[in-house]
Amino acid sequence: MDEMRGAAVELSEAQLLALYEWMLTGRILESALLEAGDAGRGAFLYPASGQEAAQVGFASALDPGDVFAGGHRGLLAALVRGVTLEEALLDLFGKAAGPGRGRRGFGTPRPERGLLGVTGDTADGAAAAVGAALAFHVRGEGRVALSLCGEGAAATGTWHEAVNTASVLGLPVVFAVENNQYAYSQPNDGVSRLAYTAHRADGYGIPGIVVDGNDVLEVYSAAREAVEKARAGEGPSLVEAVTFRHHGHFVGDPAAYADPEARRSWLARDPLPRYEEYLGTRGLLDGTRRAHLEEKVRARVARTAAWAQEQTGQEVEAPPPAPAAGADAPPPAGPAVSVAAALGCALDEEMGRDEAVVVLGPDAGGPGGRHGVTRGLRERWGPRRVIDLPASGPGVAGIAVGAALFGLKPVAEVPARHLGGCLGVLAGHAGGEVPLSLVLRAPCGPGPRSDWDPVEASGAARHPGFVVAVPSGAAAAKGLLSAAVRHPGPVVLLEPARLYEAAAPLPPGEFQEALGKARTLRPGDGVTLVAWGAAVGAALGAAEVAAAQGVEVEVIDLQTLAPFDREAVAASVARTGRLVVAEDDLPYGGPGAEVAAWAAEAAFWHLDAPVLRVAPPPRRLPFSGGPGEEGGPRPADLLAAVLSLART
């Protein structure tokens, strides 16, 4: 295979030995953890013995300024790319002193070292790598991103979105695949009808190559060539290293599904002795030198592991929700503007204020997204800042994460029906250790050109560190989006589709709404009515009718679902003694349940009646709404709830 080692001839004798020492370190470290029973103590270790050549070859092919996105089996590759052994073991043992502060394995994002971090789904790293490459492309930097995952992860939708997007945009990224024969227990023919993952490259219009994954120099040469092509502006490549994992998918997996004869054949091609033999033919390694290197590595691993185990602080708590940002918006005044136009105005202002702000999403440039929010921005700011993506699901979130980790401030639009998958990608990379300034805009609920996406997509509120906001009108839409773009953490902006065309006065000039702060839209001392999004209009209508019947209703627009303004709700309930919560979607498991449960506990002694929740009738919504299918709580139902409490 010497003809496949073209780039490897550039390596010095010291570099050739360094590759060997890394491979030896990976094997000895993993063996020590498994033998001591420490693999599952604070981390779920995915053994990679047998794949050292692939990991070292891929990771070594990048320049110092390049970026690497690995997977849960990529501990050795992360070490090669700059994670210290001390940092890795602190994180593996769940120590608070580690980079992940006890919450992650070895996969903490370290953008200053060119590391994108690791999530539970290793295909997410491919999307994040595309985002990093997008940041390099936007700024005209000569840097490259490389993602490394298994052949099983390469069968997922997120990986497809990532590769397809990189191909369409011609981004400087390399997609590396370790084909270790099994996706957990599924052999390759149960994952794909193709003989090799690299054969998919033709479908994306990019080069693809299959190499011997047990030959570190062959892997290095192929990866290095792909990296240099990407750096030269020739776009992405797909490199597949065919290898074999010596152990099961995870610690404790006996791998009984592996064919015994195939296992014997692969073990005979162990990458370590193969490379030792090569170094011996070059006069670089003999028995004495090998024993010396092994003794040195074993001593360092043992010493560092003992030190890491002695550190205190197992499993620290997750961070609290991100702090509020923004300032109170001025009272509505000025010409009437639609919610869609107000959102577009906020983006235009923020893009003018900060060149790092970019807009991403399907059809973001031409029609301005499905609802026209970003229409005209591409003509004003150019194709490097308003970027059409051929992806619409988790791939968009992963791309936004990678771009944010490397200096951009992306505002990405995703349909609410895809938000669940996007949140998994976002939560995996946005663990709180690294500031991540990005916004996911999610049109939701019934409305023009809407697919009746879920209104609340309330799963976003369950992730510590996320801010989830929902506007109720034009002024709130502009103020919340502007504050979200400036916020140092991830923000999910839920945009009720049925409000896009609703017009209302918009204050002139720049302003922000304070994230995490509710707004009292109508004072009253009879009943507190809490609402958000499109339900606010119904709440105000019900309050007006109730006032004519002698009941003064205090209407509170939460504006932010996570963290919601507990102080505002508590102060209002203390005055009124009664609380109605207007859900904008079906009530089970929604934000209204959280508000009601919290009030029943924290404001119990102020309540003179049970908390009532009003939600839309439980029904399956049609694909295309007709008359009477507006969604949200009905004003008549809200009025009935308010009056029933007022009379108790």
Q: What is the CATH number of the domain that holds 470?
A: 3.40.50.970
Q: What is the pLDDT of residue 322?
A: 56
pLDDT band at residue 307 under the 50/70/90 scheme: very high
CA-closest candidate to residue 112, choices 130, 139, 132, 138? 132
Question: What mean pLDDT comes out for the span 227-231?
Answer: 98
Cβ-based neighbours of 260, under 8 Å, separated by 6 or more: none
Domain-terminating residue out of 481, 505, 529: 505
**Is pLDDT at 320 greater than 70 in this prediction?**
no
Cα separation, 61 vs 578, whole angstroms: 65
Question: What mean pLDDT comes out for the span 81-90?
Answer: 91
Q: What is the pLDDT of residue 234?
A: 97
**Exposure string (b/e) for 612-626, b if CB count within 10 Å is 16 or more?**
bbbbbeeeebeeebe
Cα separation, 434 vs 488, whole angstroms: 10
In a domain, 115, yes or no: yes
**Is pLDDT at 30 greater than 70 in this prediction?**
yes
**Is pLDDT at 619 greater than 70 in this prediction?**
no
Cα separation, 21 vs 133, whole angstroms: 30
C-alpha of 290 from chain center: 43
Q: What is the pLDDT of residue 210?
A: 97
* 72 and 99 within one domain: yes
* 176 and 64 within one domain: yes
* 88 and 212 within one domain: yes
Q: Euclidean distance between the first and final Cα of the chain, in Å?
A: 86
C-beta atoms surrounding 375 within 10 Å: 18
Question: What mean pLDDT comes out for the span 45-51?
Answer: 89
| Size of the chain, expressed as the number of residues it contains | 648
Comparing 118 with 242, the larger pLDDT belongs to 242
Comparing 628 with 499, the larger pLDDT belongs to 499
**Is pLDDT at 451 greater than 80 in this prediction?**
no
Question: What mean pLDDT comes out for the span 157-168?
Answer: 94
* 544 and 485 within one domain: no
Burial of 423 (0-12, 13-18, 19+ CB in 10 A): buried
H or E stretch covering 613: strand 612-614
- The string of pLDDT tens digits covering residues 97-150 is 888 776 666 677 788 888 887 776 678 889 999 999 999 999 999 999 999 999
In a domain, 306, yes or no: yes
Q: How many CA atoms lie within 13 A of 140 on its CB side?
A: 0
Percent of the chain with pLDDT over 70: 88
Query: How many domains does the chain fold into?
Result: 3
Cβ-based neighbours of 99, under 8 Å, separated by 6 or more: 87, 90, 91, 108, 110, 433
Question: What mean pLDDT comes out for the span 235-252?
Answer: 92
* 189 and 272 within one domain: yes
- For tokens 């105000």, name the residue: 540
* 23 and 125 within one domain: yes
Q: What is the pLDDT of residue 430?
A: 61
Cα separation, 93 vs 89, whole angstroms: 6
**Is pLDDT at 450 greater than 60 in this prediction?**
no
* 216 and 176 within one domain: yes
- Domain boundaries, position 443: 336-505
Which range (38-52, 209-223, 291-305, 479-493) has the least confidence?
Answer: 38-52
Q: What is the pLDDT of residue 42?
A: 42
* 342 and 302 within one domain: no
In a domain, 564, yes or no: yes
Cα separation, 195 vs 313, whole angstroms: 47
* 526 and 628 within one domain: yes
**Is pLDDT at 45 greater than 90 in this prediction?**
no
In a domain, 330, yes or no: no
Question: What mean pLDDT comes out for the span 189-208?
Answer: 91
In a domain, 560, yes or no: yes
**Is pLDDT at 413 greater than 70 in this prediction?**
yes
Question: What mean pLDDT comes out for the span 178-199?
Answer: 87
Cα separation, 555 vs 14, whole angstroms: 72
In a domain, 316, yes or no: no
Cα separation, 403 vs 399, whole angstroms: 6
**Is pLDDT at 78 greater than 70 in this prediction?**
yes
How much is the mean pLDDT over the chain?
Answer: 88
**Is pLDDT at 178 greater than 80 in this prediction?**
yes
Q: What is the pLDDT of residue 627?
A: 40
**Is pLDDT at 321 greater than 60 in this prediction?**
no
Q: Which two tokens stand for residue 94?
A: 């769940």
Domain-terminating residue out of 310, 328, 360: 310
- The string of pLDDT tens digits covering residues 482-518 is 999 999 989 999 999 889 999 999 998 899 999 999 9
Question: What mean pLDDT comes out for the span 432-457?
Answer: 69
In a domain, 513, yes or no: no
The conformation of residue 120, written as its DSSP 8-state character, comes to S
- The string of pLDDT tens digits covering residues 270-303 is 999 999 999 999 999 999 999 999 999 999 999 9
Q: Radius of gyration (Cα) for the chain, nearest Å?
A: 28
Cα separation, 392 vs 395, whole angstroms: 7
Q: What is the pLDDT of residue 626?
A: 45
Q: What is the CATH number of the domain that holds 626?
A: 3.40.50.920
Q: What is the pLDDT of residue 43?
A: 46
Which range (23-32, 287-296, 431-440) has the least confidence?
Answer: 431-440
* 594 and 493 within one domain: no
Comparing 84 with 462, the larger pLDDT belongs to 84
Coil, strand or helix: which one is 17? Answer: helix
In a domain, 561, yes or no: yes
Which range (92-106, 331-345, 353-367, 558-572) has the least confidence?
Answer: 92-106
* 481 and 529 within one domain: no
* 373 and 243 within one domain: no
Q: What is the pLDDT of residue 189?
A: 82
Q: What is the pLDDT of residue 600?
A: 93
Question: What mean pLDDT comes out for the span 631-645?
Answer: 87
Comparing 190 with 625, the larger pLDDT belongs to 190
Torsion of the alpha carbons at 500, 502, 505 and 508, rounded to the nearest 10: 10
Cα separation, 298 vs 32, whole angstroms: 9
Q: What is the pLDDT of residue 455?
A: 47
Q: What is the pLDDT of residue 237?
A: 98
Comparing 430 with 531, the larger pLDDT belongs to 531
Domain-terminating residue out of 460, 479, 505: 505
Strand partners, 154: none
